[in-house]
């Protein structure tokens, strides 16, 4: 009977330890670019990208601030020191001439995205999703540009936006996350390579779901993408981001920035399925994922909603936040963080209530397996003038095995006595009795574990937009076995 018990543990491990399916590397010739970080490098990036003066200044200014900063050490993470001079800050596949359409993209790169389940051939794509694909430091192509153009929506890589809509970029870039916001935000501001840009004009409900797919391919390159989404008055958009990387024994650095701005009555729903390579069973390799994501609800009744499914990365340091400035504006944060082996995640959100009648909701689900560390860290701040604001937070942790760690750090900072703030937290373990019950009904143990994990995450999974279900499923199936129904 003990054998069965051991077998049970073994099978649990097997389910959780399914090998990483996206760890392949594409052999591609890349353009030479000097390694290291200094003003010349930043100047070179800016020149290569043919950037206007304001951006060059923005970068150099950020770099100066960064030089004076230290790596944040307050998170519940053990981070090996990073030598910022060992990293290539700009890595693009070699190409002979300027591309006019996707047909001219290196077939190897298109194949890479095919393998990842992201077909860039528009005709084969889901008819209601537009995709921007970013390979190392450059956007490979954006689909459905014309269709979106007809609605007045701009969806392109941020490099293109800098070329074609410099005024818009200048007006909004760095307005939500300043170039001196934090160590990694400053680093990104100095060296950011590519990312997506979306602009939804007044009174437009974006006719397609927008999606960006990030792929790190180069071993020595860091990815520093930057995304900027602006939703003007009475507009709305759904956006999804997916990420993968090959398997290397070295750690790669990923320090991204995402800025969202909503004007009056506007709505942005931003969903992430993050599946960077997480390192091997001994914790060797994997992506260091230091991301600053923040939304600004500028207008009355505006809404920003973050949904994230974090399954990859060796280290995740990420707090998608909302600044609720507009009266009656609202912010939401729905999160699933799954860590295994020696993965570490310190993730959560900040809800800053500044306007009157602002509301926010936080729902966080952490699952820790193996020897991993999984922390929720969240700040709810109610400002002096935020009369009658409300927040509800729920943080649930789920432990699998006996060597993993789950922590919850809620910070509540309340300056207004009319506010109502609620926080709930639970912690549970996968119970032998639950598994026994399910297996007694003929459900295989791996399926049973999948059911339990799925059940635990259900409230958040249902927040993912339906349109992205297939893509999200592909990434999720890696670690979350057995989708119900």
Partner 1 sequence: MNNLLLKIENLEASINNKKILKKFNLEIKENEIHVIMGPNGSGKSTLSKILAGHPSYSIEKGLIEFSRQNLLEMSPEARSHEGLFLAFQYPIEIAGVTNYDFLRIAYNEKQKYLKQDELDPLQFMELIQIFLDKLKMKTEFLNRNLNEGFSGGEKKRNEILQMLVLKPKLIILDEIDSGLDVDAIKIICEGIKKNREINSSLIVITHYPRILNYLIPNFVHIMIDGKIVKTGNMELVNYLEEKGYEQLNN
Q: Which residues bind partner 1 (CB under 8 A)?
A: 1-2, 4-5, 7-8, 431-434, 436-445, 447, 451-452, 454-459, 484-485
For residues 324 and 445, which CB has a smaller minimum distance to partner 1 in the complex? Answer: 445
For residues 7 and 175, which CB has a smaller minimum distance to partner 1 in the complex? Answer: 7
Token output for 63: 């770099």
Contact between 102 and 110 under an 8 Å Cβ cutoff? The reply is yes
CB of 179 to partner 1, least distance (A): 42
Contact between 209 and 238 under an 8 Å Cβ cutoff? The reply is yes
For residues 1 and 384, which CB has a smaller minimum distance to partner 1 in the complex? Answer: 1
For residues 19 and 442, which CB has a smaller minimum distance to partner 1 in the complex? Answer: 442
Instruction: Name the residue among 165, 109, 138 with its Cα closest to residue 45.
Output: 138
H-assigned helices in 340-483: 432-440, 445-461, 469-476
CA angle 78, 84, 90 (to 5 degrees): 125
Cα-flanking dihedrals φ and ψ of residue 442, to 5°?
A: 85, 10
For residues 12 and 273, which CB has a smaller minimum distance to partner 1 in the complex? Answer: 12
CB of 240 to partner 1, least distance (A): 23
For residues 12 and 169, which CB has a smaller minimum distance to partner 1 in the complex? Answer: 12
For residues 192 and 398, which CB has a smaller minimum distance to partner 1 in the complex? Answer: 398
For residues 210 and 461, which CB has a smaller minimum distance to partner 1 in the complex? Answer: 461
Is the alpha carbon torsion for 378, 184, 317, 293 positive or negative? positive
For residues 387 and 439, which CB has a smaller minimum distance to partner 1 in the complex? Answer: 439
The Cβ of residue 88 has, within 10 Å, a number of other Cβ atoms equal to 20
Rounded to a whole number of angstroms, the distance between the first and last alpha carbons of the chain is 32
CB of 349 to partner 1, least distance (A): 22
For residues 4 and 384, which CB has a smaller minimum distance to partner 1 in the complex? Answer: 4
CB of 275 to partner 1, least distance (A): 22
Ordered DSSP codes for 228-239: EEEE-TT-EEEE
The Cβ of residue 282 has, within 10 Å, a number of other Cβ atoms equal to 9
Residue the block writes with tokens 């890696």: 478
The Cβ of residue 128 has, within 10 Å, a number of other Cβ atoms equal to 12
The CA distances from residue 129 to 28, 123, 150, 212, 326, in Å, are 28, 11, 15, 10, 30
Instruction: Name the residue among 308, 311, 338, 339 with its Cα closest to residue 321.
Output: 308
β pairing state of 257-262 and 330-339: unpaired
Ordered DSSP codes for 391-412: EEEEEEEEE-SSS-EEEEEEEE
CB of 281 to partner 1, least distance (A): 24
Token output for 57: 């200044």
For residues 386 and 451, which CB has a smaller minimum distance to partner 1 in the complex? Answer: 451
CB of 365 to partner 1, least distance (A): 10
Token output for 43: 């100047």
Distance CA 474, CA 21 (A): 10
CB of 157 to partner 1, least distance (A): 38
CB of 13 to partner 1, least distance (A): 15
CB of 342 to partner 1, least distance (A): 27
Contact between 215 and 23 under an 8 Å Cβ cutoff? The reply is no
For residues 148 and 457, which CB has a smaller minimum distance to partner 1 in the complex? Answer: 457
CB of 11 to partner 1, least distance (A): 10
Contact between 269 and 308 under an 8 Å Cβ cutoff? The reply is no
Helix (H) or strand (E) holding 168: helix 166-172
CB of 8 to partner 1, least distance (A): 5
CB of 38 to partner 1, least distance (A): 51
């Amino acid at each position: 009977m003990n054998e069965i018990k051991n077998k049970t543990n073994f099978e649990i491990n097997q389910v959780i330890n399914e090998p990483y399916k996206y760890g392949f590397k594409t052999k591609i010739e890349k353009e030479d670019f000097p390694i290291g970080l200094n003003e010349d490098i930043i100047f070179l990036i800016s020149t290569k990208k043919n950037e206007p003066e304001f951006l060059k200044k923005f970068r150099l200014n950020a770099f100066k601030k960064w030089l004076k900063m230290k790596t944040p050490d307050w998170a519940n993470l053990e981070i090996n020191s990073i030598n910022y001079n060992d990293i290539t800050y700009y890595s693009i596949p070699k190409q002979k001439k300027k591309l006019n359409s996707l047909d001219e993209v290196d077939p190897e790169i298109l194949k890479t995205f095919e393998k990842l389940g992201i077909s860039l051939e528009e005709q084969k794509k889901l008819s209601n999703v537009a995709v921007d694909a970013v390979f190392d430091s450059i956007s490979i192509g954006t689909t459905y540009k014309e269709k979106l153009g007809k609605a007045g929506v701009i969806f392109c890589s941020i490099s293109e936006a800098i070329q074609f809509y410099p005024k818009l970029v200048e007006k909004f870039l760095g307005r939500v996350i300043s170039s001196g916001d934090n160590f990694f935000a400053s680093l990104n501001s100095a060296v950011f390579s590519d990312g997506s840009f979306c602009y939804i004009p007044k009174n437009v409900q974006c006719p397609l779901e927008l999606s960006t797919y990030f792929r790190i391919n180069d071993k020595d390159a860091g990815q520093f993408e930057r995304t900027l989404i602006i939703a003007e008055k009475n507009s709305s958009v759904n956006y999804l981001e997916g990420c993968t990387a090959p398997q290397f024994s070295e750690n790669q650095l990923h320090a991204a920035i995402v800025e969202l701005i909503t004007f009056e009555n506007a709505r942005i729903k931003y969903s992430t399925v993050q599946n960077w390579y997480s390192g091997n069973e001994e914790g060797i390799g994997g992506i260091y994922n230091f991301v600053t994501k923040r939304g600004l609800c500028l207008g009355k009744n505006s809404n920003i909603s973050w949904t994230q499914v974090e399954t990859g990365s060796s280290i995740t340091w990420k707090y998608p936040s909302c600044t609720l400035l507009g009266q009656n504006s609202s912010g939401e944060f729905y999160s699933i963080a799954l860590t295994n082996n020696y993965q570490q995640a310190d993730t959560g959100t900040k809800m800053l209530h500044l306007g009157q009648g602002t509301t926010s909701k936080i729902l966080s689900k952490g699952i820790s397996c193996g020897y991993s560390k999984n922390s929720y860290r969240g700040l709810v701040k109610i400002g002096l003038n935020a009369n009658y604001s409300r927040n509800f937070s729920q943080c649930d942790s789920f432990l699998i095995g006996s060597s993993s760690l789950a922590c919850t750090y809620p910070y509540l900072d309340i300056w207004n006595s009319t506010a109502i703030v609620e926080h709930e937290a639970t912690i549970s373990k996968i119970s032998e009795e639950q598994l026994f019950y399910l297996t007694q009904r003929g459900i295989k143990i791996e399926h049973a574990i999948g059911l339990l994990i799925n059940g635990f995450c259900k409230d958040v999974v249902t927040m993912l937009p339906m349109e992205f279900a297939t893509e999200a499923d592909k990434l999720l199936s890696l670690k979350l076995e057995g989708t119900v129904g």
